[in-house]
Amino acid sequence: MKRTTFLSIATASLLAALLPGAAHAQGYPNKPIRLIVPYAPGGATDIIGRAAAAELTKTMGQQVIIENRPGAGGNLGAEQVARSAPDGYTLLVSPSSLHGITPFLYTKLPYDPNKDLAPVIVLGSFANVLVMNPSIKANSVSELVALIKASPGKFTYASSGSGSTIHLSGEMFKSMLNLDIAHVPYKGSSPALTDLMGGQVSIMFDNIPSAITFIRSGKLKPLATTGPTRSSSLPELPTMIEAGFPGYISTAWFGIVAPAGTPKEIIARINAEGQKVTKSPDFIKRMNELGYDIVGGSPEQMGAMIQEELKRWGPVVKSSGAQVD
């Protein structure tokens, strides 16, 4: 009996040594989990991150705590996670721009967002929306383009910062139609929208969750959304493709990533809990009301989506000439 017990302990110890990921995953999680948002509170990444953290806290048996670590276009918080222990206790709410735009925009990065971070799950996505100051006399994208071409150098487009999907959506618009329109970057969507409503800038391709309240109140005039199909939260608006601009697609998605080297068993556990989040009626309702579409899926599917972002945005960044040292 004693010999059997000894052999059982020895066998278990050997298996734990051979399968460290499985051993760690058995007791995971046994303490609070930090979910880093690499931007300031109130933005699109923060909104979906906080909603997901609330749901994960319910299902994982441990508190999932949001920590905002803004700076360097999202790279400060992302690098912090990339350098963290790969044990599943420090995760990142990661926007698609970090994976598809950042590698082309930043010439010197101390980490690689696509090698030092491991995909877990995509939570939600949305298109941008082309909005303008209501004083501009245009009722369609074609009419707006005609006004811009009739007054070269007069119009400006705002963004939440260089390298964001908001910025690159404007660059795509500018380059596709050969428009003389200047980029005005801000430190976030909020100040950009304030100036747009005040008439200091002309147009903006903003994230739907940031702009939708101002659209509904009549403070901003929307012309089109930028996804492949119409937005469920703004179904009355045509897509840019329907508005007469084939090939124009610009979307953003938000997911959870972990430090590279995190055991696959822990990745699988977080993914499974993330799938529960994307099926939660409360989460779906809240996100849909704010303009997000729910995604879900496997880590492998998120990896494939990252590759699509690289193919989409690489040529746009290079064409714009935008670079950050």
> pLDDT by residue (tens digit) across 28-86?
999 999 999 998 887 788 999 999 999 999 999 999 999 999 888 789 999 999 999 99
Q: Is 4 exposed, middle or buried (0-12, 13-18, 19+ CB in 10 A)?
A: exposed
270 neighbors 258 (Cβ within 8 angstroms): yes
Ramachandran area for residue 259 (φ above 0: left; ψ -120 to 50: alpha; else beta)? beta
Model confidence at 1: pLDDT above 60: no
**What angle, 0 to 180 degrees and rounded to 10, lies between the N-to-C axes of helices 281-289 and 264-279?**
70
User: Binning pLDDT at 50, 70 and 90, where does residue 248 land?
Assistant: very high
Helices (H), the chain: 2-18, 20-26, 44-60, 75-82, 96-100, 102-105, 141-150, 165-177, 189-198, 208-216, 264-279, 281-289, 299-320
pTM for this one? 0.81
Report pLDDT digits (tens) over 163-190: 788 888 999 999 899 999 999 988 778 8
Backbone angles phi, psi at 263, to 5 degrees: -50, 140
List beta partners, residue 294: 124
- Is there a common fold for 29-125+251-320 and 127-225? yes
Question: In the prediction, which pLDDT does 25 show?
Answer: 66
Contact (CB, 8 A) for 123 and 48: yes
Where are the chain's structural domains? 29-125+251-320, 127-225
pLDDT digits (tens, 9 = 90+) for 205-235: 998 988 988 999 999 999 999 999 998 889 9
Residues written for the chain: 325
Per-residue pLDDT at 6 exceeds 70: no
Q: Which residues pair with 183 in a beta bridge?
A: 157
Nearest to 80 by CA among 69, 95, 88: 69
Can you give the pLDDT at residue 17? Answer: 47
Q: Which residues contact 123 (CB under 8 A, 6 or more apart)?
A: 48, 52, 253, 254, 255, 256, 274, 277, 278, 294, 295, 296
Give the mean pLDDT of 276-286.
96
| The pLDDT value given to residue 112 | 97
For 107, the token pair is: 């010439």
Fold of 29-125+251-320: D-Maltodextrin-Binding Protein; domain 2 (3.40.190)
| 147 bridge partner residues | none
Q: Which range, of 83-87, 165-169, 192-196, 296-300, averages the lowest pLDDT? A: 165-169
Structural contact between residues 78 and 67, judged by C-beta atoms closer than 8 angstroms: no
In the structure, what pLDDT confidence band is assigned to residue 24 with cuts at 50, 70 and 90? Answer: low
Cα-Cα-Cα-Cα torsion 236, 242, 244, 245, nearest 10 degrees, comes to 110
Q: Say how far apart CA 149 and CA 153 lie, in whole Å.
A: 9
* CA–CA distances in Å: residue 119 to residues 88, 96, 289, 303, 307: 12, 11, 26, 6, 12
- Beta-carbon contacts of 304 under 8 Å, excluding residues fewer than 6 positions away, are none
So what's the pLDDT on residue 22?
Answer: 52
Distance CA 115, CA 61 (A): 30
Say how far residue 87 (Cα) sits from the centre of its chain: 23
**Residue carrying structure tokens 């609330």:** 54
- CATH class belonging to 127-225: alpha beta
pLDDT above 50: residue 7: no
Residues with Cβ within 8 Å of residue 30, at least 6 apart in sequence: 62
Percent of the chain with pLDDT over 90: 70
Beta strands in 112-155 (DSSP E): 117-132
Sign of CA dihedral 87, 88, 94, 96: positive
Q: Are 257 and 120 within 8 A, CB to CB?
A: yes
